Structure 1
Amino acid sequence: MAEENKSVDPKNASSIFDFTVKNLDGEDVPLDKYRGKVCLVVNVASNCGLTKNNYKQLNELYAKHKDSGNFAILAFPCNQFAGQEPACETDLKEYVVKQKIEFDFFGKVNVNGKQAIPLYDYLKSKQGGMLGDFIKWNFTKFLCNKEGVPVKRYSPTTEPNQIEKDIVGLLEEKN
């Protein structure tokens, strides 16, 4: 599993742009590279019952809005929910190609517990869930504005096409 740069304390972060994560090749990716973009951050799993529909709709959303240059989807594979993402990074890279996933896919992470990456601790602290701050399942989605601040959290059963209006609203906001 990819380890995230732990130099940023989630309590002191002002946005997702303060964090660095690992890509599928284990290389550091400063999320600052997304500055000025509306970002949808999603924990994903390839063997979940929600996978097929979510990946299809995430791909459609990304294809529809990527040319604006102001939209990004950041997918974080996670195996914490019923072992539904057992693949290693090498297999995940092949999966991304095979499924024709165009949005950004990162290294495998934990989103809950002591091993949760700081990015997810930050997201959960800014947009808690109905029954607690923890992530309940695969495909929990966080929508962040162009300043990298989480503005809304969506449940795993909220389909990506149901949140398009919120994405468009943030894309249309003036800086």
Structure 2
Amino acid sequence: MKSRFYDMTFNDAHGEPFDTDLLRDKVVIIVNTASECGFRSQLESLEHLYQKYKDEGLVILGFPSSDFRNQEPLNSKDAESCYRENHGVTFPIMEKVHVRGKDIHPLFKALTESRTGLLTSAIKWNYTKFLVSREGKIMDRYPPQKKPEQFEEDVKKTLRYT
């Protein structure tokens, strides 16, 4: 998924096309989010990571999804507002998407095909995270249980050595 990453298209929370050229030469964390998920406290941890490393080129993209027990009942704009107001998120929030199944968004299809999880390539729950290098290469995939602070060293290495 090296150069294909920059060819992916998706919209921001307001339905406007997101300019993926803004991601070139950046290290990106992509995460599927849900406001009613027990892992939602990771929004604060992701924001902390974003604030700490954004000046070095880190970008985090949150993609609301309701694929798991309808834990994101909000539409894209309301999810963005909820994340900002309740969790202090300032990183970009995208349009609500499907991250598995027959309607899987092409970005998540490419991500899951590039980095499989334990036993399967499908995303099993909210807050699955993907780390993408400055060259658009999927470096790693982290399960929902792995908190952002637990893979901070990977982020630092990717920022400084790619």
The TM-score by the shorter chain falls in which range? Answer: over 0.9
Check conservation: 2:127, 2:143, Cα contact below 8 A: yes
Provide the secondary structure at the position in 1 that maps to 2:126: coil
Q: State the one-letter code of the partner of 1:37.
A: K
- CA 1:65 to 1:152, structure 2 compared with 1: closer, same or farther past 3 Å? same
TM-score by length of 2: 0.94
Instruction: Find the partner of 2:93 among 90, 95, 105.
Output: 105
RMSD between aligned alpha carbons? 1.4
Q: State the one-letter code of the partner of 2:36.
A: N
1:119 matched residue in structure 2:
107
Unaligned runs of 5+ in 1: 1-11
1:93 offset after TM fit, Å? 3.1
1:43 matched residue in structure 2:
32
Distance 1:42 1:94 in 2: 17
1:71 matched residue in structure 2:
58
2:68 matched residue in structure 1:
81
1:13 offset after TM fit, Å? 7.0
- Identity fraction in percent: 37
Paired residues, number: 161
Provide the secondary structure at the position in 2 that maps to 1:96: helix
Q: Determine whether 1:55 maps to 2:55.
A: no
Provide the secondary structure at the position in 2 that maps to 1:55: helix
1:158 matched residue in structure 2:
146
TM-score by length of 1: 0.87
Unaligned runs of 5+ in 2: none
- CA 1:155 to 1:124, structure 2 compared with 1: closer, same or farther past 3 Å? same
Distance 1:66 1:124 in 2: 25
Distance 2:52 2:152 in 1: 10
Instruction: List structure 1 runs of 4+ shifted beyond 6 angstroms.
Output: none
Check conservation: 2:62, 2:94, Cα contact below 8 A: yes
Instruction: Find the partner of 2:128 among 137, 140, 165.
Output: 140
1:89 offset after TM fit, Å? 2.2
